[in-house]
Amino acid sequence: MRFRFRPAPRGAHFFELFTESAAHLRTGADLLARILGADLPNRARLAARLNDVEHAADEAAHQVYTALARTFVTPFDRDDMYSLAAALDDCMDAMDEAGELIVLYELGTLPAGVSEQVAVLRQCAELTYEAMPRLRSFDGLQAYWIEINRLENQADRVYRRVLADLVNDADDAITVIKVKGVVDALEEAADFFERLANRVQTIVLKES
Distance separating alpha carbons of residues 51 and 199, to the nearest angstrom? 25
Distance separating alpha carbons of residues 110 and 113, to the nearest angstrom? 8
61 and 86 Cβ atoms separated by less than 8 Å:
yes
Q: Which of 30-34, 45-49, 203-207 has the lowest mean pLDDT?
A: 203-207
Q: Is the pLDDT of residue 11 over 90?
A: no
Q: Report phi then psi at 137, rounded to 5.
A: -125, -10
pLDDT at residue number 109: 87
Residue among 187, 189, 193, 192 nearest 161 (CA) = 187
Q: What architecture does CATH give domain 12-207?
A: Up-down Bundle (1.20)
Residue-wise DSSP of 3-45: ----PPPS-HHHHHHHHHHHHHHHHHHHHHHHHHHS-HHHHHH
- What is the average pLDDT across 115-135? 97
Q: Is the pLDDT of residue 198 over 80?
A: yes
Distance separating alpha carbons of residues 174 and 184, to the nearest angstrom? 15
pLDDT digits (tens, 9 = 90+) for 139-191: 989 999 999 999 999 999 999 999 999 988 777 889 899 999 999 999 999 99
Binned at pLDDT 50, 70 and 90, residue 4 comes out as very low
Residue among 158, 144, 160 nearest 193 (CA) = 144
